[in-house]
Amino acid sequence: MAAASQLREPFETSAMFGDVIARAASYSPARVAETAIELLELRPDHAALELGCGSGRLLAQVTARVQRGFAAGIDPSPLMVRHARLRNRRWIERGLLDVAVGASDDLSRWPDRRFDRVYGMHVVYFWEAPERDLAEVRRVLAPGGRLLLGFCPAEQAGPSIGPDPARCSLAAAEEWLARAGFSAIEGRCDFDAERPLAWLRASR
Ligand SMILES: C[S@@+](CC[C@H](N)C(=O)[O-])C[C@H]1O[C@@H](n2cnc3c(N)ncnc32)[C@H](O)[C@@H]1O
């Protein structure tokens, strides 16, 4: 029998992972999905990619809106990918959705300009070298395609239960996007039950 340590998936046991999951779970999924869908301005023929799709809840809602297009999700956690595939199996069986293990700094699974929309909720905290992730996002986005990121902004820290790596500065993220060559960069901060949530949208 395998030892418990061998059964563990190292990524999911990192302290950062737990912090971010707990933070993300504190927002209302319905409200987050509503805003994400609104900001994505999806059309039925769009191809959309979710970075860090987790258990695939938002991915299910996005896929339902691109029924003449294509949807994809990636997540480095095999556990999350299993959940996302199970939740979305009817779309996968129809060939409408692809969910894969992977990280946003290597989107080589897809060719250049494959997607009209790329989005990621609570994923930026994990970017060790954002320029690498953003170069890949830009490569897979079609000209005029749109990137949407949602995250907890460092600017509105509020009460904390300790050191808090699971936040990202909205101003810094805007700067990353500008340096990566994105245009029409729009950042804003919403409040959900007094919890701030930053939205950052840009075009390729
Ligand atoms: C807090 S969860 C959010 C999941 C989902 N986006 C949501 O809002 O419910 C963060 C997710 O990002 C994934 N992740 C971590 N590093 C990543 C990376 N470099 N690229 C893509 N996803 C990553 C994690 O495995 C995790 O599933």
Question: What CATH number should be reported for the domain holding residue 183?
Answer: 3.40.50.150
Ligand 1 centroid to residue 1 C-alpha, Å:
30
Higher pLDDT, 168 or 73: 73
- Indicate whether 13 belongs to any domain: no
* CB-ligand 1 contact for 126 (6 Å cutoff): yes
* CB-ligand 1 contact for 75 (6 Å cutoff): yes
Q: What is the pLDDT of residue 166?
A: 73
Give the number of the atom of ligand 1 that is nearest the alpha carbon of residue 75. 22
Q: How many CB atoms lie within 10 A of CB 109?
A: 14
Give the number of the atom of ligand 1 that is nearest the alpha carbon of residue 51. 21
- Indicate whether 175 belongs to any domain: yes
Ligand 1 centroid to residue 53 C-alpha, Å:
6
- Indicate whether 17 belongs to any domain: no
Mean local confidence (pLDDT), 62-79:
97
CA-nearest residue for atom 15, ligand 1, is: 126
CA-nearest residue for atom 8, ligand 1, is: 121
Q: What is the pLDDT of residues 185-195, one digit of tens each?
A: 999 998 766 67
Look at strands 141-151 and 115-121 and give their pairing.
parallel
* CB-ligand 1 contact for 62 (6 Å cutoff): no
Give the number of the atom of ligand 1 that is nearest the alpha carbon of residue 127. 19
Quote the CA–CA distance of 192 and 160 in Å, as a whole number. 16
What's the mean pLDDT when you consider all of the chain?
89
- Indicate whether 69 belongs to any domain: yes
- Indicate whether 2 belongs to any domain: no
Determine the structural domain holding residue 77 and report its residue range. 25-203
- Total count of domains within the chain: 1
Q: What is the pLDDT of residues 120-129, one digit of tens each?
A: 999 999 999 9
Quote the CA–CA distance of 59 and 185 in Å, as a whole number. 23
Higher pLDDT, 2 or 149: 149
- Indicate whether 15 belongs to any domain: no
- Indicate whether 1 belongs to any domain: no
- Indicate whether 62 belongs to any domain: yes
Mean local confidence (pLDDT), 104-129:
96
Q: What is the pLDDT of residues 32-53, one digit of tens each?
A: 999 999 999 999 999 999 999 9
Q: What is the pLDDT of residue 118?
A: 98
- Work out the pLDDT band at 16, boundaries 50, 70, 90: confident
DSSP assignments along the chain, one per residue: ---HHHHS-GGGGSHHHHHHHHHHHTS-HHHHHHHHHHHHT--TT-EEEEES-TTSHHHHHHHHT-TTSEEEEEES-HHHHHHHHHHTHHHHHTTSEEEEE--TT--TTS-TT-EEEEEEES-GGG-SSHHHHHHHHHHHEEEEEEEEEEE-BGGG--S-SS---S-B-HHHHHHHHHHTT-EEEEEEEEEETTEEEEEEEEE-
Which residues on adjacent β-strands are paired with residue 147?
Answer: 118, 202
* CB-ligand 1 contact for 150 (6 Å cutoff): no
